[in-house]
Amino acid sequence: MRTVLVTGPGGAGRTTVAAATALAATRAGRRVLLLTCDRGHAPDTVLAAALPTRGTDDGAPWAPPVEAAPGLWAARVAAGEHFGALARDLQDRGTSLLDLLGATPLDPEELTELPGAEPLAILAALRAAHADGRWDLLVVDMPPAHETVRLLALPEQLRRYLRRLLPPERQAARALRPMLAQLARVPMPAQLLYDTVERWQQELAAVQEVIEAPGTTVRLVAEPGVLAAGALRTARAGLALQGCRIDSLVANRLLPHDSADPWLAGLADEQRTAHRALCEEFLADGVTVRDVPHLGRSPRGPADLGELAAHATLPREDREVHEGREVHETSGAHEEQVPAEPWTVEDRLATDGMLVWRLPLPGADRDGLGLVRRGDELIVGVGPFRRVLPLPSALRRCTVSGAGLRDGALSVRFIPDPDLWPRTT
């Protein structure tokens, strides 16, 4: 199943681009589900359809989908209902433990959504949409870019925390718990703990599989301007750190550059300068830039979305060229799969006596980089984002001798540890 995660700086028009992407795909004969994380009225306005704001009693991570156009179904992530379902399930499973502690369970009416519930609901919705099987394409209107990076990193981080707090080897003691429970004549609380952890490990692994699937890509949306470049650069580096593939940058709400109005012409010139800089930066790394013009009004309904989506079908000769490089003017319905740039270990033992681990991090800068070796792991920081990377087996027997950032890639140099490296005779 193809999945497109649409994100970008706040206010850049993510919802509009996500809806136009979904509509263009339906016109190509695909069955599409558009998921939105926006709890406001923007999705309803853009689609000209009323999306339910509340989920169902079964705790599904989204409200009932609505057919916004032929072949296009749209649904809103239902974080509150998903949180309530998780809390009720945990209470039901832990009834014996609550009785043992003398605790009073919470009534369903008391369960209110806590901070942090929304990311879990979004991840659950991603997995549920893939498991549903009714759609060919999933388009997700994600939160702003910085939040999206942290959200996509969450499954791996939580799985690592669970492995550290309750390592698999300690779970071997589960065989003794039934006997201990009989001796004590009370259920052992650890049973609930281990069962819950095992279930969460399975859920998180399934979500991570969706995020890392070859058919899952990120589509960045930005309105070219002075502030957009820095925000995009940081988000792009964070996405690269998580191994996410960016299929394109959508330059949204482009103003006409032939206006006779001096005020509008000045804004258009400023925007065009920023747009050119974005094109140079992203095209140099092989990322397609897609142009979406300003309609002169806020998009409302399939007709306006269709006007934006129509840019996906422009003939090749009608596409604008910036300094000899092609820029696709499209809302983003092109569905090519973008291969991830590999994180490779280069063997330079024969020439330089070292191994080099190359980590592509386009958009990163030296001042925002952090690098710490911890046992068999490498902790890499890029701006506000961090990731703990397990070292490839060969590098675990080496020591870090240095690192450098060049051409959008972090190269970490390793020298074999004589006490651990196989000796040659």
Q: Which domains does the chain have, with CATH numbers?
A: 1-340 (3.40.50.300), 344-416 (2.60.40.790)
Q: What pTM does this model have?
A: 0.85
Neighbours of 1 (CB within 10 A): 16
From first to last of its 425 residues, the chain has per-residue pLDDT tens of 899 999 999 999 999 999 999 999 998 889 999 999 998 899 999 999 999 988 776 667 889 999 999 999 999 998 888 777 777 776 666 565 555 556 666 666 666 777 778 899 999 999 999 998 899 999 999 999 999 999 999 999 999 988 887 776 555 455 555 554 555 454 555 566 677 778 888 899 999 999 999 999 999 999 998 889 999 999 999 999 999 999 999 999 999 988 888 899 999 999 999 999 999 999 888 888 999 999 989 899 888 998 888 664 333 333 333 334 444 443 333 444 455 567 899 999 999 999 999 999 999 999 989 999 999 999 999 999 999 999 999 999 999 999 999 989 999 999 999 888 876 65
For residue 184, give every residue at least 6 positions away whose Cβ sits within 8 Å of its Cβ, in sequence order, or none.
none
Coil vs helix vs strand at 93: helix
Reference 9, options 225, 302, 167; nearest CA is 225
- Measure the CA–CA gap between 39 and 76, rounded to whole angstroms: 7
Helix axes 14-27, 301-309, angle to 10 degrees: 80
DSSP secondary structure string, 14-51?
A: HHHHHHHHHHHHHHTT--EEEEE---SSHHHHHHTS--
- Give the CA dihedral 128, 95, 57, 52, nearest 10 degrees: -70
For the record, the structure tokens of 227 come out as 């502030």
